[in-house]
């Protein structure tokens, strides 16, 4: 029988923490009811920018959910022993992040009461339609995988489930990227590179969320994560952040040189106000340079808080990138008549001045609240705290394999 990978955790101040998570989730839910009752007129969204802040947060959580499973996959599928005790926690966070992301995006629907209709009428040419299968099966596969990891009698079967889950999440995230990639009409999208870019982003964002939650768990237990393991995980984050930067560069170069969307790229990178600010300040400086500094500069990486800081910056950078990608892509007017100046009563030809409203903001952070609340409750009840056998790892040389 497999020896225990994980242990129970007693979270101090559990009820206070749960209350915070519950209040944030409740605020999000109430905001959604308010929007559903009055209609989207109470939001900052309109007929030009109709996927607003809730979509930014939801897509972050959904993409991150598939990425946070990476930690488990590296252990199960690629056999790296350091990751094995972390597998169950990674699987759990994948489930709760996806649930939270879907909570936000489904409550933002114009007709959220028609979810059953969405699940029973599926148009198979639509990526959203595929999602009706991709998401539920993901929940099922990852749930099965986590059970097989935790149930010591069933551990031998966990590799099959883990491999299936690994492949499934690649398909799922390719789908999420293709939602944008298949949109032929818009300058910001319509590119084959978007799907792989989302896969790489899932690696970085998912690992960042994992590192923060894991750090919290060590704090709650009052123990210390082994420094060599911590540095190893940090380095992985740094590698993913660098890879994301590479893909973003290629995406913009593709848009400029292959698609020749010069006016749109100028808007996003130079003249569009909030969009270049978020891109350069948010994604490049905060989301890429700062995490890389905290991972690779010796003086910074030896700080105890370097992993958490690098992770927080990565997450902020991810949200900034998605804001520019999703909202900037809509705010810039559709180019129906290339080269012409356009004006109309439907605001053709003008940049949309989208500003998120309070209900949208509450729904968006409600997603993070729900993720925190669900994860907190499950790790209090079931054993998810990773147990590293440091002696065994050092002896077998697996610490640096």
Partner 1 sequence: MSEPQDRIENKSRRSFVGAAAVAGASAGVAALAPGLKLIEVAGAAPRAPGEPASSAVRWGMLIDTTKCASGCDACVKACATENGINETVKDPRQGSQWIRKIDLKDPKTGQEYSLPMLCQHCEHPPCVDVCPTGASMKRADGIVLVDRHICIGCRYCMMACPYKARSLVHMPLTEQNPLVPRGQGCVEACTFCVQRVDRGQQPACVEACPEKAMLFGNLNDPNSEIAQRVAKEKTTQVRADLKLNLGVRYQGI
Structure tokens at 328: 């900037």
Distance (Å) of CA 63 to CA 4, 33, 58, 81:
30, 25, 8, 25
| Residue 258 token pair | 């292959």
Beta bridge partners of 386: 6
Judged by CB under 8 A, which of 343, 390, 395, 396 binds partner 1? 343
- Quick one: which of 299, 345, 391, 400 contacts partner 1 (CB under 8 A)? 345
Tell whether residue 358 is a contact of partner 1 (CB under 8 A).
no
Q: Is 360 in the site for partner 1 (CB under 8 A)?
A: no
Compute CA 330 distance to the chain's CA centroid, rounded to the nearest angstrom. 21
Rg of the chain, C-alpha, whole Å: 22
Among 39, 222, 298, 397, binds partner 1 (CB under 8 A): 39
Regarding 57 and contact with partner 1 (CB under 8 A), the answer is: no
Contacts with partner 1: how many residues (CB under 8 A)? 50
Cβ within 8 Å of residue 168, ≥6 positions away: 134, 137, 138, 141
The DSSP secondary-structure symbol of 114 reads G
Closer residue to partner 1 in complex, CB, 36/265: 36
Binding mask 233-272 for partner 1 (x = CB under 8 A): ----------------------------------------
Out of 14, 218, 251, 347, the only residue in the binding site for partner 1 (CB under 8 A) is: 347
Residue 133 interacting with partner 1 (CB under 8 A): no
8 A C-beta contact, residue 203 and residue 70:
yes
Judged by CB under 8 A, the residue of 14, 33, 34, 51 near partner 1 is 51
Which part of the chain contacts partner 1 (CB under 8 A), choosing from 56-64, 176-184, 243-251, 260-268? Answer: 176-184
Q: CA 155, CA 299: separation in Å to the nearest integer?
A: 41
Q: Is 6 helix (H, G, I), strand (E, B) or coil?
A: strand
- Say how many C-beta atoms besides its own lie within 10 A of residue 387's C-beta: 11
Selected binder of partner 1 within 18, 118, 316, 399 (CB under 8 A): 118
Instruction: State the DSSP code for 259.
Output: S
Residue 224 DSSP SS3:
coil
Q: What is the DSSP string of 34-83?
A: HHHHH-GGGSS--SSS-S-HHHHHHHHHHHHHHHHTHHHHHHHTS--GGG
Q: Does 195 bind partner 1 (CB under 8 A)?
A: no
**How near is the Cβ of 368 to partner 1 at its closest, in Å?**
22
Which candidate, 54, 49, 17, places its Cα nearest to that of 34?
54
Tell the smallest beta-carbon distance from residue 39 to partner 1 (Å).
4
Identify which range of 1-9, 42-50, 69-77, 369-377 contacts partner 1 by CB under 8 A. Answer: 42-50
> Quick count: other Cβ atoms within 10 Å of Cβ 95?
22
Is residue 10 a contact point for partner 1 (CB under 8 A)? no
Identity of the residue, 6 or 176, whose beta carbon is nearer to partner 1 in the bound complex = 176
Residue 274 near partner 1 by CB under 8 A: no
Positions 97 through 116 that interact with partner 1 (CB under 8 A): 109-112, 114-115
Q: Does 176 bind partner 1 (CB under 8 A)?
A: no
| Nearer CB in complex with partner 1: 160/342 | 342
Q: Which of 5, 92, 98, 127 binds partner 1 (CB under 8 A)?
A: 127
Residues 243, 204 contacting (CB under 8 angstroms): yes
Closer residue to partner 1 (CB): 174 or 314: 174
Instruction: Determine, following the binding rule CB under 8 A, whether residue 336 of this chain makes contact with partner 1.
Output: yes
* 95, containing H or E segment: helix 87-107
CB under 8 A: which stretch of 136-144, 180-188, 253-261, 292-300 binds partner 1? 180-188
Select the residue interacting with partner 1 from 38, 152, 235, 260 (CB under 8 A): 38
The residue with tokens 């390719």 is 174
Q: How far from chain centre, in Å, is Cα 212?
A: 13
Q: Note the residues at the interface with partner 1 (CB under 8 A).
A: 36, 38-41, 45-48, 50-51, 109-112, 114-115, 117-118, 121-123, 125-129, 131-132, 179, 182-186, 330, 334, 336-337, 339-348, 352
């Amino acid at each position: 029988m497999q020896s225990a990978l994980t242990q129970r955790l007693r979270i101090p101040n559990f009820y206070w923490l749960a209350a915070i998570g519950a209040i944030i989730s409740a605020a999000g839910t109430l905001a959604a009811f308010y929007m559903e009752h009055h209609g989207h007129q109470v939001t900052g969204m309109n007929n030009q920018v109709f996927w607003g802040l809730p979509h930014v947060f939801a897509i972050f959580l959904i993409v991150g959910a598939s990425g946070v499973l990476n930690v488990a996959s590296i252990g199960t599928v690629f056999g790296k022993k350091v990751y094995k005790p972390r597998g169950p926690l990674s699987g759990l966070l994948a489930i709760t992040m996806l649930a939270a992301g879907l909570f936000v995006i489904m409550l933002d629907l114009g007709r959220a009461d028609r979810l059953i209709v969405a699940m029973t009428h599926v148009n198979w040419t639509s990526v959203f339609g595929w999602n009706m299968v991709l998401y539920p099966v993901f929940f099922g596969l990852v749930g099965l995988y986590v059970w097989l990891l935790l149930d010591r009698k069933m551990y031998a079967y966990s590799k099959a489930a883990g491999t299936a889950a690994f492949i499934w999440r690649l398909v799922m995230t390719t789908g999420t990227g293709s939602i944008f990639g298949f949109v032929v009409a818009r300058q910001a999208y319509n590119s084959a590179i978007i799907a792989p870019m989302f896969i790489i982003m899932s690696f970085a964002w998912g690992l960042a969320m994992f590192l923060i939650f894991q750090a919290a768990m060590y704090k709650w237990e009052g123990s210390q994560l082994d420094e060599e393991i911590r540095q190893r995980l940090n380095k992985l984050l740094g590698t993913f952040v660098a890879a994301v930067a590479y893909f973003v560069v290629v995406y913009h170069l593709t848009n400029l040189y292959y698609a020749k969307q010069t006016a749109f790229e100028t808007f996003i990178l130079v003249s569009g106000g909030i969009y270049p600010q978020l891109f350069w300040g948010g994604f490049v400086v905060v989301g890429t340079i700062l995490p890389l500094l905290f991972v690779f500069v010796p003086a910074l990486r030896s700080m105890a808080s370097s992993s958490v800081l690098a992770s927080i910056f990565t997450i902020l950078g991810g949200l900034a990138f998605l804001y520019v990608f999703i909202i900037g892509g809509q705010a810039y007017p559709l180019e129906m008549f290339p080269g012409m100046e356009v004006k109309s009563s439907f605001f053709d030809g003008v940049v949309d001045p989208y500003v998120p409203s309070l209900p949208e903001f509450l729904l968006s952070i409600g997603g993070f609240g729900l993720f925190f609340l669900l994860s907190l409750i499950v790790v209090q009840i079931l054993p998810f705290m990773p147990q590293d056998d440091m002696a065994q790892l050092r002896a077998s040389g697996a610490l640096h394999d």
